């Protein structure tokens, strides 16, 4: 039996991708503004048309069957290409020659990324920047799902089949307010720092998980007093005396003078923050994305 390609409409393909990405028919329907009943009907029609079951329905949500995973790969590519076509048409109207679609974690936006993006914009002023701040895990999902071409993530983030290159390496330091007991020296052993209360990013972020793992390796526990969403908030909480923090040195340096902080090296261990640039397939990247990868590589060679 041959399949009539005309019966694959864009809304159903988008819905299929959204349901698999979220693991929920309800969440997928919400993304497209459909009722659950209408979404269920579209999915059933797709399964009837292709002649195989695409989902396993469970109480906790849905999972793709082996057939569903195969179709998902092609559906993502089709949706991405259609989105790119729509953007290209819009770009023609506004003189834009392309988009850099990048999702990155807090560490990168608080560290090396803004300066690198500024350099990129100077070289390619006609490329529009589509940027989003997200957890490393969500950044990976964005690349896998096709809503972004590139993601900057922590090196402790599972990437599956994505390709990665190292894009930044920064020393982690302990930030304390001026006058703090630990500030009597320019460095502090990790075991000593962990005796104090900490201000961190959310527990699910790759940076906090890295610090918690280092604490566990030392048979200690990371005592989190407050969780915030940015380095700026971390630094302000530290300055107010609510705890100390472990931050990438480059990001912490932005707040040192303004908030009267001291940045202490971590003695006895080489605790670095390594960030990766993740992509689905380098060979299939758009020209704007490929140019950004080349700038990342040139910057790494120069440092």
Domain ranges of the chain: 5-78, 92-167+274-302, 169-273
What is the band of 136 on the pLDDT scale with cuts at 50, 70, 90? very high
CA distance 217 to 238: 25
Q: CATH code for 169-273?
A: 3.40.190.10
User: Could you give the CA distance from residue 172 to residue 290 in angstroms, rounded to a whole number?
Assistant: 30
Local structure of 219: helix, strand or coil: coil
Q: Which residue stretches of 95-135 are H helix?
A: 106-109, 113-123
* pLDDT, tens only, 244-263: 999 999 999 999 999 999 99
Asked whether the beta carbons of 174 and 188 are under 8 A apart, the reply is yes
Residue among 81, 47, 84 at smallest CA distance from 67: 47
DSSP state of 110: T
Q: Tell which residue, 13, 58, 21, has the closest CA to residue 39.
A: 13
Reported as a pLDDT band with limits 50, 70 and 90, residue 1 is very low
Distance CA 174, CA 245 (A): 6
- Quick check: 60 pLDDT over 60? yes
Q: What is the pLDDT of residue 49?
A: 82
Answer CATH for 5-78 from 3.30.1330.60, 3.40.50.620, 1.10.10.10, 1.10.1740.10: 1.10.10.10
Helix, strand or coil for residue 74?
helix
State what percent of residues in the chain have pLDDT above 90: 59
Tell me the CATH number of domain 92-167+274-302, given options 3.40.190.10, 3.40.50.720, 1.10.3720.10, 3.30.565.10. Answer: 3.40.190.10
Is 198 within 8 Å of 176 (Cβ atoms)? Answer: no
Kindly state the helix (H) or strand (E) to which residue 273 belongs, with its residue range: strand 272-279
Confidence (pLDDT) at 205? 93
- The whole-model pTM stands at 0.69
Residues 6+ positions from 61 with CB-CB distance below 8 Å: 22, 23, 24, 25
Q: Do domains 5-78 and 169-273 have the same CATH topology?
A: no
Q: What average pLDDT does the segment 147-168 reach?
A: 95
Mean pLDDT of 131-139: 94
The pLDDT score that the predictor gives to residue 3 is: 57
Token look-up 């096709």 returns: 146
C-alpha of 303 from chain center: 24
Is 90 exceeded by the pLDDT of residue 115? Answer: yes
pLDDT beyond 70 at 280: yes
Beta carbons of 142 and 271 less than 8 angstroms apart: no
């Amino acid at each position: 039996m041959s399949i009539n390609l005309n019966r694959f409409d864009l809304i159903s393909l988008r819905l299929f991708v959204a349901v698999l990405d979220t693991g929920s028919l309800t969440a997928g329907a919400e993304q497209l503004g459909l009722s659950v009943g209408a979404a269920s009907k579209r999915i059933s029609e797709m399964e009837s048309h292709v002649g195989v079951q695409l989902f396993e329905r469970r109480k906790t949500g849905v999972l793709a069957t082996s057939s569903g995973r195969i179709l998902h790969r092609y559906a993502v590519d089709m949706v991405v290409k259609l989105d790119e076509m729509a953007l290209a048409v819009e770009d023609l109207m506004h003189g834009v020659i392309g988009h850099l679609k990048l999702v990155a974690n807090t560490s990168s936006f608080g560290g090396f990324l803004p300066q690198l993006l500024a350099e990129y914009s100077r070289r390619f002023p006609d490329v529009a920047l589509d940027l989003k701040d997200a957890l490393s895990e969500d950044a990976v999902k964005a690349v896998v799902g096709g809503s972004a071409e590139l993601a900057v993530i922590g090196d402790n983030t599972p990437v599956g089949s994505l390709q990665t290159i190292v894009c930044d390496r920064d020393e982690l330091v302990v930030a304390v307010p001026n006058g703090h007991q630990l500030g009597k020296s320019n460095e502090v052993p990790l075991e000593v720092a962990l005796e104090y209360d900490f201000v961190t990013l959310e527990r699910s972020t790759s940076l906090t998980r890295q610090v918690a793992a280092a604490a566990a390796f030392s048979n200690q526990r990371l005592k989190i007093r407050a969780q915030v969403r940015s380095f700026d908030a971390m630094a302000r909480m530290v300055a107010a005396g609510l705890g100390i923090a472990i931050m990438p040195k480059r990001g912490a340096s932005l707040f040192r003078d303004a908030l009267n902080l001291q940045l202490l090296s971590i003695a006895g261990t080489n605790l670095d923050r390594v960030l990766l640039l993740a992509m689905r397939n380098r060979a299939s990247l758009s020209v704007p994305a490929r140019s950004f990868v080349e700038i990342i590589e040139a910057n790494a060679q120069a440092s």
